[in-house]
Amino acid sequence: MSDYYFEEEEFTTEFNGQTIKRIAAQTKPYWRWVVGFLLLIGLVSFQDSVFTYLSKLIIDEGIVPGNVERMRQLFTLYAGMALVQALAVFGFIYLAGILGQRIQYDMRETLFKHLQALSLSYYSKTPVGWIMSRVTSDSSRIADLITWGLIDSTWSTLNITAALIFMFIINWQLAMVMVFVIPILLVIATIFKKKILLEYRRARKMNSKLTGVYNENITGVRVVKALTREEKNLEEFDGQATKLYQAAYRAAWLSALFMPAVQVTGAVALGAIIWYGGWQIQVAGMTVGSLQAFISYLTFMLWPILELARVYAEMQNSVASAERVFSLIDAEPEIVDRPDAFDPGTIRGDIEFDHVDFYYEKDKPVLTDFNLHVKQGETIALVGPTGGGKSTIVNLICRFYEPKAGVIRIGGTDYTSFTLHAIQSRIGVVLQTPHLFSGTVRDNIRYGRLEATDEDIEAAARLAHAHEFIVDMERGYDEEVGEGGNLLSTGQKQLISLARAMLAQPEIFVMDEATSSVDTLTEALIQQGMETLMAGRTSFIIAHRLSTIKRADRILVIEDGRITEIGSHAELIRAKGHYYSLYTKQFHRQAESSYEQLYKQAVAI
Ligand SMILES: Nc1ncnc2c1ncn2[C@@H]1O[C@H](COP(=O)(O)OP(=O)(O)OP(=O)(O)O)[C@@H](O)[C@H]1O
Ligand SMILES: [Mg+2]
């Protein structure tokens, strides 16, 4: 179970200068905005501390001596500043909000483009969940760091500095006390915040594992019940739930301890100030307003200190997020166009595997010294036991992967001389697990040829025999297929994928068990459409059903990455070798005569 979940990289405690530079580079196009909001924050925190000083002036110069004129002046100033303050706060929050969105937009776009460029090998090695959380939560965490992290840390630092300056102006001896208190408070707060964050992170991780357990058990409920796994699964769930509880418990305990610790330190500082300030009033003639302002500055400072600690702790988290996003951006696609790659216009001619070696993982060879020559227009069927290498061969033809050694030639030219786009846009692929995109049936068929008219779409659907079930649906071609096409049956999805491939009119056609979930009658019907489509086109067909295989020009029996037999149906039957035994074992239920009958019936309908 635990193997299934990718472990999040541990919390990095070191700041990586390189990463910080790259994060900063994200703001480059928007540096004017950054300067703008930093200036506004500067204004806001300066005014914040002036307000407290104004209160001191109002007490000392207005209220105590009873000077109404002075009070009026100071209040007018106060009101004017409050108005400016309101505008500035609005300005920087608005700017930061937009900036955050811009940065996220840029990052999402970069990531999306990059994800589309990455090769299949990356996807088969990397869990989807890992990629998804890079694209969603990690990228927004970077934007938050650049905007709110920058705002909060600037605001806090400026407030603390401004308050200290005013404290020194009021009474430097008292201010010296603060010079000792601030670092102590900062250190305590940072340590706590970091620990709390770490525990929350653990709890979050546990929580996502628990969600996974729920998810697997809900989606797999039939299997759970069928195999009476309820007891065992409950045990597994309990184990995960307990871990989550413990992590959350520690986080709650630390959070609870944090505020009292800060308050006690603050209270000690306050006591010292009042005691020392009282003595200054008695002996050195300090005013009551001054002491009052001083105490205000102390409380005024407490919040920015906590904020600074929080931002610092979170920043490490965000830098770790950024490192993960950058590692995704830095992943190089394995298959890229050669610098001199060209588009030959059409991809025609014989396809040749010349001493091809291939493996997915280094020490597990799948194809070794594989040779094959397919003539232009030939229909090749691939049969053989599970794991033999059939899909691998077609993956190589589609250039989803490239040979590790040897050459694949199309029309006599090494296919790596062509651009990927040239090859992949002209190969029509239909897979066993068809994938549809959310949208209508029509959108899905049109996917590979956007300029196709509605008539073209219907013609392709008729050829694939998808038309019948499509028009039976309430909204016909405008029916929504749901996410991944999950509102349709597997067989229906296969028919739509087939129509999609037919519409695109590819030059090479690849079907990897493309009709395995379609009923026999429909498959027999599709046969005609496929024959129309395959006429003159080089086609590779992997299928377990006799009908499809029999009509191929040549049948390849693939076992352990090797061609063990090659020839037409009749030749291979006569040879009484592998194909013959496969045929008699695997296909005996679809006895030839009855199949022929079925086909004739089907064609007659
Ligand atoms: N993405 C992958 N990463 C690592 N190994 C893989 C990958 N895909 C396939 N393999 C391995 O390569 C070998 C050939 O697999 P392939 O999918 O080509 O078989 P197949 O003949 O299509 O089988 P089936 O009839 O079950 O579809 C198998 O041993 C398989 O484990
Ligand atoms: Mg396969």
Return the higher-pLDDT residue of 40 and 485: 40
**Lowest mean pLDDT, pick from 126-130, 140-144, 386-390:** 126-130
Q: Of 413, 426, 503, whose CA–CA distance to 459 is shortest?
A: 503
Band of pLDDT at residue 404, cut at 50, 70 and 90: very high
Indicate the pLDDT class of residue 482, thresholds 50, 70 and 90: confident
- Rounded to whole angstroms, how far apart are CA atoms 46 and 36? 16
Would you state the pLDDT for residue 605? Answer: 45
Ligand 1 mean position to 364 CA, how many Å? 11
Ligand 2: distance of its center to the CA of 76 in Å? 81
Q: What is the pLDDT of residue 83?
A: 94
CA of 390 to the centre of ligand 2 (A): 6
Per-residue pLDDT reduced to its tens digit, 328-377: 888 888 888 889 999 988 888 899 999 999 999 888 999 999 999 999 99
pLDDT in tens, 489-520: 888 888 898 899 888 888 899 988 877 777 87
Distance CA 384, CA 260 (A): 71
pLDDT band at 396 (very low <50, low <70, confident <90, very high): very high
Query: Inter-axis angle of helices 490-503 and 520-534, to 10 degrees?
Result: 10
pLDDT tens digits, 292-339: 888 888 888 888 888 888 888 788 778 888 888 888 888 888 888 889
CA-proximal residue: ligand 1, atom 30 (nearest)? 387
Q: How far does residue 561's CA lie from ligand 1's centre (Å)?
A: 10
pLDDT in tens, 125-135: 887 777 888 88
Say what the pLDDT of residue 6 is.
Answer: 44
Residue 598 is predicted with a pLDDT of 53
The model carries a pTM of 0.72
The stretch 181-203 carries a mean pLDDT of 84
Give the side-chain half-sphere CA count within 13 A for 218.
6
End-to-end CA distance of the chain: 51
Whose CA is closest to 356, among 562, 525, 156? 562
**Ligand in closest contact with the CA of 431:** 2
- Three-class SS state of 388: coil
pLDDT per position as a tens digit, 66-120: 888 888 898 899 999 999 999 999 998 898 889 999 999 999 999 999 998 888 8
Q: Whose CA is nearest to atom 24 of ligand 1?
A: 386
Q: Average pLDDT, stretch 5-15?
A: 48
Distance 360 CA to ligand 1 centre (A): 9
Is pLDDT at 1 greater than 60 in this prediction?
A: no
* DSSP H/E element including 365: strand 364-374
CA 274, 275, 277 angle in degrees (round to 5)?
60
**What is the distance in A from the centroid of ligand 1 to the CA of 569?**
25
Q: Nearest 5°: phi and psi at 344?
A: -80, 5
Q: Which of 195-209, 234-248, 364-378, 417-431 has the highest mean pLDDT?
A: 364-378
Per-position b or e across 171-190, b if 16+ CB within 10 A of its CB: beebbebbeebbeebbebbb
Mean pLDDT lowest among 138-152, 215-229, 245-259: 215-229
Angle at 275 between CA 269 and CA 279, to 5 degrees: 140
Residue nearest to atom 3 of ligand 1 (CA): 360
Distant-in-sequence, close-in-space partners of 47: CB < 8 Å, separation ≥ 6: 81, 84, 85, 88
| Mutation probe of ligand 1 site: the residue of 119, 120, 125, 366 with most atoms within 8 A of C-beta | 366
Both tokens assigned to 93: 């929050």
The confidence band for 208, taking pLDDT boundaries of 50, 70 and 90, is confident
pLDDT at 55 (0 to 100): 85
pLDDT cut 90: percent of the chain above it: 23
pLDDT at 9 over 60: no
Pick the residue whose CA is nearest to atom 22 on ligand 1: 391
Closest atom of ligand 1 relative to the 384 alpha carbon: 21
Pick the closest to residue 296 from 274, 279, 280, 264 (CA basis): 274
User: Is-contact 496 490, C-beta < 8 A?
Assistant: no
Residue from 122, 126, 335, 360 whose mutation best tests the ligand 1 pocket (most atoms within 8 A of CB): 360
Q: Is the pLDDT of residue 194 over 60?
A: yes
Which residues, judged by CB distance below 6 Å to any ligand atom, belong to the binding site of ligand 1?
124, 360-361, 366, 386-392
Closest ligand to the CA of 396: 1
pLDDT tens per residue, range 350-364: 999 999 999 998 889
Q: Which residues pair with 381 in a beta bridge?
A: 541, 555
522 C-alpha to center of ligand 2: Å?
22
Strand ranges, E, within 503-561: 508-512, 538-542, 554-559
Q: What is the C-alpha separation between 556 and 568, in angstroms, rounded?
A: 9
Distance 179 CA to ligand 2 centre (A): 71
State mean pLDDT over 195-218: 80
Q: How far is the CA of 487 from the centre of ligand 2 (A)?
A: 25
CA 273 to chain centre: 53
Report the atom number in ligand 1 closest to the C-alpha of 121.
1
Residue 11's pLDDT is what?
44
CA 73 to chain centre: 58
Question: Which ligand 1 atom sits closest to the C-alpha of 395?
Answer: 18
Q: How far apart are CA 287 and CA 512, in angstroms?
A: 89
508 backbone dihedrals φ, ψ, rounded to 5°: -125, 140
Bridge pairing between strands 405-410 and 379-383: unpaired
Residue nearest to atom 29 of ligand 1 (CA): 387
Residue nearest to atom 5 of ligand 1 (CA): 360
Please state, rounded to an integer, the average pLDDT across all residues of the chain: 84
pLDDT digits (tens, 9 = 90+) for 548-596: 788 889 999 999 999 999 999 889 888 888 888 877 776 555 554 455 5
Q: What is the 3-state secondary structure (H, E, C) of 47-116?
A: HHHHHHHHHHHHHHHHHCCCCHHHHHHHHHHHHHHHHHHHHHHHHHHHHHHHHHHHHHHHHHHHHHHHHH
Q: Indicate the SS3 state at residue 539.
A: strand
pLDDT of residue 85: 92
Spatial contact of 477 and 496, defined as CB atoms under 8 Å apart:
no
pLDDT at 540 (0 to 100): 93
